[in-house]
Chain A
Amino acid sequence: MEGILSANDQIASQNRQLLDQHGIRMINLMASPGSGKTSLILRTIEALRGRVRIGVIEGDIASSIDADRVAARAVPVVQINTGGQCHLDATMVSRALTRLPLEDLDVILVENVGNLVCPVDFHLGEGLNVVITSVPEGDDKPYKYPAMFLAVDAIVINKLDLLPYVHFDADSFCKLTTGMNHDVRIFRVSCETGHGIAEWAKWIAQQRQPWVKKGQGVA
């Protein structure tokens, strides 16, 4: 009897060890295409500028459009092009980590490939998993993709500014997802207006590994 993803899991735990040694928390951001992953990353960078040193790994099937947008904010960023693969895996992330200045980072935000199915099965070495869902996608996503909503530590509901125009019952969405995933944190944000970003950014800042002081080992 052997877990089929054990080879990936092994590399993921090596990534995790490397990050732990550097006192870095890696956060895996998953979502469907167009839900606002890159916009949320840009908002988070701005909200925490000067307080939390953020690095970014951008996963896309092709192109470097997202990485270029992040690099414009003067933040270390590595683009991974999966060449058709629908998710990031631990090996791709381990290569990306060699290209980031780990000594100078507190948090790495990983933008996974836009997809609510596959990324959830492939651990990367992350400390936290987050799914971003947006109001126009509808409030039934947890029914259709239960594995995703069960696997995450936090859910970000984005595009809240569109609530007057589309049907999205935020309260029943929250009731369902907390029923499915008891301890999940839910953030209601609009990357367009900035609504809710402060609370989300505060939570990200709290995810740093405060007990490790850079260059001094465990305090």
Chain B
Amino acid sequence: MHELSITQHVLDIVMMHAQRAGARRVTRIDLVVGELTGFVDESIQFYMDMLTPGTRAAGAKLAIQRISTRVRCRACGQEFHPQGAQWACPACAAPGGEILCGREFRVESIEVE
């Protein structure tokens, strides 16, 4: 829902680094997005297409790496990927556990020329 402002944040970061690097053009933007964040790839791309024309990032390829949620069971230490209603440990059936990853949301790198 809020991908417009989010995409603007992404572009602010991209433009700042492109300017620092003295780049004419941004050719690629790499994002890392965890499964537990509420951000939708298609929406980010949609707003990117809307916001970038006329900027250094016009036509840049957007690559989004999705990180799956990984949970470590507090009872037996098993690591697993919770999906839908399956938040119980597949080994011992204890519910939930410690979140190892899935909350990432960052600009990993950009390519410029």
Interface residues of chain A, those whose CB is within 8 Å of chain B, are 1-8, 85-87, 89, 115, 117-118, 120-121, 140, 142-143, 146-147, 150, 175-182
In the complex, are the beta carbons of B106 and A179 less than 8 A apart? Answer: no
Query: Is B95 a contact partner of A175 (Cβ separation < 8 A)?
Result: yes
Question: Within the complex, what minimum Cβ distance (angstroms) separates B72 from chain A?
Answer: 12
Q: Is the CB of B38 within 8 A of A121?
A: yes
Q: Is B59 an interface residue (CB 8 A)?
A: no
A203 to B82, CA, bound (A): 32
Set of chain B residues within 8 Å of A85, measured between Cβ atoms: 2, 5
Whether B6 lies near A4 (C-beta < 8 A) is yes
Q: Is B62 among interface residues, defined by CB-CB distance under 8 A?
A: no
Given A5-B9, A179-B88, list of 15 further CB < 8 A pairs? A1-B106, A2-B106, A4-B13, A4-B105, A4-B107, A6-B13, A115-B1, A121-B38, A142-B87, A143-B85, A146-B87, A147-B103, A176-B95, A178-B95, A180-B97
Total interface residues on B, using CB and 8 Å? 33
Name the residue among A87, A121, A140, A175 with the largest chain B CB count within 10 angstroms: A121
Q: Nearest residue in A to B5 (C-beta to C-beta)?
A: A85
Given that A147-B38, A175-B95, A176-B87 are contacting pairs, would A118 and B109 also be in contact in the complex, using a CB cutoff of 8 Å? no
Interface residue ranges, B against A (CB under 8 Å): 1-2, 5-6, 9-10, 12-13, 17, 31, 36-39, 69, 74, 82, 84-85, 87-88, 94-99, 103, 105-109
State in angstroms the CA–CA spacing of A120 and B2 once bound together: 12
Q: Are A179 and B2 in contact (CB under 8 A)?
A: no
A121–B9 CA distance with the chains assembled, in angstroms: 13
Which residues of B have CB within 8 Å of A182?
74, 96, 98
Measured between alpha carbons, how far is A121 from B84 in the docked complex, in Å? 20
Q: Note all chain A residues with C-beta closer than 8 A to B107.
A: 1-2, 4
A1 touches which one: B2, B96, B98, B108 (CB < 8 A)? B108
Query: When the two chains form their complex, are residues A150 and B109 in contact, meaning their CB atoms are under 8 A apart?
Result: no
